[in-house]
């Protein structure tokens, strides 16, 4: 899978929006952009994913740059419960069908701290 780059850490104030960036300059046309998060002492949790268009769900929004070389996860109103490590992951059906990359490749992610 193509590589992603995220800041190691970010801080946000409670009830303010948070924009978590992810760079993926080597993304291929068939790579899906996935976001997962891991709260303290819990397993990773799916947040959102998209291919080309911006996506919204009950947890967050995903804004994808027009050239797809970067994306931003948007938490509209951060709460203390949103403090977690956020992972940006690319997944490619071509690689998966060819026998490789049958897993989520987690990088180091972004540690989000939410201040009360």
Partner 1 sequence: EAQVTQNPRYLITVTGKKLTVTCSQNMNHEYMSWYRQDPGLGLRQIYYSMNVEVTDKGDVPEGYKVSRKEKRNFPLILESPSPNQTSLYFCASSETWGAKNIQYFGAGTRLSVL
Comparing C-alpha atoms, which of 46, 71, 43, 68 is closest to residue 57?
46
Q: Where does the chain show beta strands of DSSP type E? A: 9-13, 18-23, 31-38, 45-50, 55-56, 61-64, 70-75, 84-92, 110-115
Tokens representing 4 are 């992603």
Residue 106 binds to partner 1 (criterion: CB under 8 A): yes
Binds partner 1 by CB under 8 A, chosen from 2, 23, 44, 61: 44
Residue 82 binds to partner 1 (criterion: CB under 8 A): no
Residue 24 binds to partner 1 (criterion: CB under 8 A): no
Binds partner 1 by CB under 8 A, chosen from 11, 25, 46, 56: 46
Judged by CB under 8 A, the stretch of 14-22, 45-53, 59-67, 70-78 that binds partner 1 is: 45-53
* Cβ atoms within 10 Å of 86's Cβ, excluding its own: 23
Q: Which residues share a beta bridge with 71?
A: 22, 64
CB-nearer residue toward partner 1: 51 or 115:
51
Residue 113 binds to partner 1 (criterion: CB under 8 A): no
Residue ranges that bind partner 1, judged by CB under 8 A: 30-32, 36, 41-46, 49, 91-93, 96, 102-104, 106-108
């Amino acid at each position: 899978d193509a590589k992603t780059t995220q800041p190691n850490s970010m801080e946000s104030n409670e009830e303010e929006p948070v924009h978590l960036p992810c760079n993926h300059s080597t993304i291929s046309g068939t790579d899906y952009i996935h976001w997962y998060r891991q709260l303290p002492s819990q397993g990773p949790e799916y947040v959102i994913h998209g291919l080309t268009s911006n996506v919204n769900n009950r947890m967050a929004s995903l804004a994808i740059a027009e050239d797809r070389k970067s994306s931003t996860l948007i938490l509209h109103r951060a709460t203390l419960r949103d403090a977690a490590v956020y992972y940006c992951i690319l997944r490619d059906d071509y690689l998966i069908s060819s026998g490789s990359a049958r897993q989520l490749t987690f990088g180091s992610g972004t540690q989000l701290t939410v201040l009360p």
